[in-house]
Chain A
Amino acid sequence: MKKTWWKILTVILLFYVVIWGLLGPVPRQPILNETIRNVYFHVPMWFSMMTLMVTSLVYSIKYLRKGRINDDTYALGFASVAIVLGIIGFVTGSAWGNFTWGDPLPRDPKLIAVEVGMLIYSAYFVLRGSFEDEQKKARLAAVYNIFAFATFMPLVWILPRLTDSLHPGNGGNPAFGKYDMDNAMKIVFYAANIGWILMGVWVSSLVIRIRLVQNQLNEKN
């Protein structure tokens, strides 16, 4: 039963978020109305994705320093779950945008940034697919992962702040927390962030363990 406490915490937090997020009181805002509840599900996806991308980056650096093939498996696992979270975040975002902005895919710098991010990580998988040799594949993928991450970050964090954006907190729009969320919402929001990040880590740990077992089986054959 060692190291299971955080999994139990994840389950409790997410049950709390789903139930209280859908039933709890929310301030009534013009245009937003009840869709404000999506903030518990859409925003944490990005936090979770970012966390996993940074973890993937750390394991890529670790691989380049030490050369252990397991570190590469870790980097791959975190990156593949990160891309899934990115897609979920994209879908929840466009559903939300459909009802508030009147357009599921408005021309918004954050959306463009995320589309590019998905392209970068897809390219990462294509790159991995084009090599046979394990060490060579791992090394080149690690180099690309680090390089792509460094160009992805300014795209997400700097560019949307320079241009006009529909998202709160960008292009002169006030951040969400300032006006729209009351204290009761903030508690659920923080719980949602922690819960979804832990969920992301949990799923990636499962993916990684399956891959490690597969690697071992491949070695035996």
Chain B
Amino acid sequence: MKEIIHLIKKDFILEWRQKYALNGMILYVISTVFVCYISFKLKVSSIEKITWNTLFWIILLFSAVNSITKSFIQEKAGRQIYYFTLANPQSVIISKIIYNIGLMLFLGFLGFVVYFALMGNQAENVPMFLLSIVLGALGFSSSLTLIAGIASKADNSSGLMAVLSFPVILPILTMLIRLSKNAMDGLAFSSSYDEIITLMGIDLIVIALSYVLFPYLWKS
């Protein structure tokens, strides 16, 4: 447990020291939203609800893939070996997942604020929309962290990351879009229990599998 907390702390400190990476991610989110805003020729009020919703999740998906890819290639191979001698592989993956959840929550809410400011608010049940962002951050970071670990072993890691992660993330993404669609239509929480439970279930499976499988990755 202590190990995990130390590792998370280390990740935060590293991120804080290399501010350019964090700033890059923030700018990435803001500029993609802005590109969408410009592309729709500023007539944002005429956007259909489904387009509005899908666009938001695609922006979040791409910023998630972009920011989580870094989680293993950011540090040099030598330093990875150093961690290997110090820490359990299980605590490494859990700390990375928790750190990425934090990062994704931050980026998700930032994206939400910018998106709402530029593209207008079309969600009627805002708390539920926020819940879908929280669940999305959980799902994206838990499933992408292990994939980032796999991709970091290859030479063309960013290309491989996209290929490997999109099919894996699609079940989560479809559930998220349905949940946030319900939120946009202003349905009550009770009508979306199915989606929420399925998302939680997928997240749990994915985290458990990352916990079990990561030691095999770490060895190579």
State the A residues within 8 Å of B (CB).
64, 112, 116-117, 119-120, 123, 126-127, 130-131, 135-136, 139-140, 142-144, 146-148, 150-152, 154-155, 158-159, 162
Contact = CB atoms under 8 A, between A and B. Distances in A.
B87 interface: no
B130 interface: no
B58 to A, nearest CB: 16
Given A155-B171, A159-B175, A64 B164 contact: no
Contacts of A158: 198
B209 interface: yes
Given A64-B213, A140-B150, 12 more contacts: A135-B220, A136-B220, A140-B153, A143-B213, A146-B209, A147-B206, A151-B168, A154-B198, A154-B205, A159-B171, A159-B198, A162-B195
Chain B interface residue number, banded: 20 to 34
B201 interface: yes
9 contacts: A126-B163, A127-B163, A131-B153, A136-B153, A139-B216, A144-B147, A150-B209, A151-B168, A159-B174
A162 B216 contact: no
Contacts of B209: 146-147, 150
Contacts of B217: 139-140, 143
A131 B154 contact: yes
Contacts of A144: 147, 150, 164
Contact of B170 (A147, A150, A155, A162): A155
A154 B220 contact: no
B171 A151 contact: yes
B150 A116 contact: no
Contacts of B155: 130
A135 B83 CA distance: 22
